[in-house]
Amino acid sequence: MSAKVFLVIGLVCAACISLFAAAGAAPAAADPKHRIVFEVTGDGEELWNAVLNNVENVRMAFGPENTEIEVVAHGKGLGLVMGSNRGQQERMKTLSDSGVVFAACQNTMTRKNITKDQLLPFALVVDAGVAEVVRKQEQGWSYIKSGA
């Protein structure tokens, strides 16, 4: 091959590298928030404390202003958002006041004959816990499973 061919190939490769580098350096999306949905389906204070630890750790890593978090409790995990859950109530209230959403599954509530007034006052009710998780994932949220 001639020197001209090598020069052309070299220029093409350099141009490709520049294009790939520019594509990787594209400006960040308009909303840089990390959106995370935590699904809680297990029972017990040890598990619930682990979930809350994970929520707090994510917020600490990314900054509370850069996170949007929803904790969806259904099945055996519904106890997390019950008013009878005294062990985590204050901690959850602090998180709720700072923007973390705690959601209870209406289907589980119906199955267990639980009413909204039996939940922690800051918990919201969603039609179906699994459907809520699916909706969040379809909107691009990261998914964390907690519990068995």
CATH number at residue 113: 3.40.1260.10
Task: Note the pTM of the prediction, 2 decimals.
Answer: 0.79
Q: How confident is the model at residue 146 (pLDDT cuts 50, 70, 90)?
A: confident
Q: How confident is the model at residue 31 (pLDDT cuts 50, 70, 90)?
A: low
Higher-pLDDT residue of 5, 97: 97
Tens digits of residue pLDDT in 70-86? 999 999 999 999 999 99
- Residue 17 falls inside a structural domain: no
> Is 65 inside any structural domain?
yes
User: Which run of H or of E encompasses 133?
Assistant: helix 129-138
What DSSP state is assigned to residue 83?
T
**Residues linked to residue 102 through DSSP beta bridges, in sequence order:** 71
* pLDDT confidence of residue 32: 80
Task: Identify whether 42 is part of a domain.
Answer: yes
Encode pLDDT of 100-130 as tens digits: 999 999 999 999 999 999 999 999 999 999 9
Domains in the chain: how many in total?
A: 1
Pairing outcome for strands 34-40 and 67-73:
parallel
Which domain covers residue 83, as residue numbers?
34-146
Q: Which of 11-20, 56-65, 84-93 has the lowest mean pLDDT?
A: 11-20
Q: How far apart are CA 86 and CA 45, in angstroms?
A: 10
* Any domain includes 137: yes
CA dist list (Å): 111 to 17, 105, 116: 58, 10, 13
Considering the domain boundaries, does residue 70 fall inside one? yes
Residues 28, 29, 30: CA angle, nearest 5 degrees: 115
Mean residue pLDDT across the chain: 85
| 127-148: b (≥16 Cβ within 10 Å) or e | eebeebbeebeeeebeebebbe
Which of the two residues, 63 and 148, has the higher pLDDT score?
63
> For residue 81, which of 63, 97, 66, 103 has the smallest C-alpha distance?
103
Residue 91, CA distances (Å) to 82, 96, 107, 120 in order: 14, 9, 26, 12
* Residue 29 pLDDT: 53
Residue 16, in any domain of the structure: no
Predicted local confidence at residue 4, as pLDDT: 45
> Is 78 within the bounds of a domain?
yes
Q: Is residue 19 part of a domain?
A: no
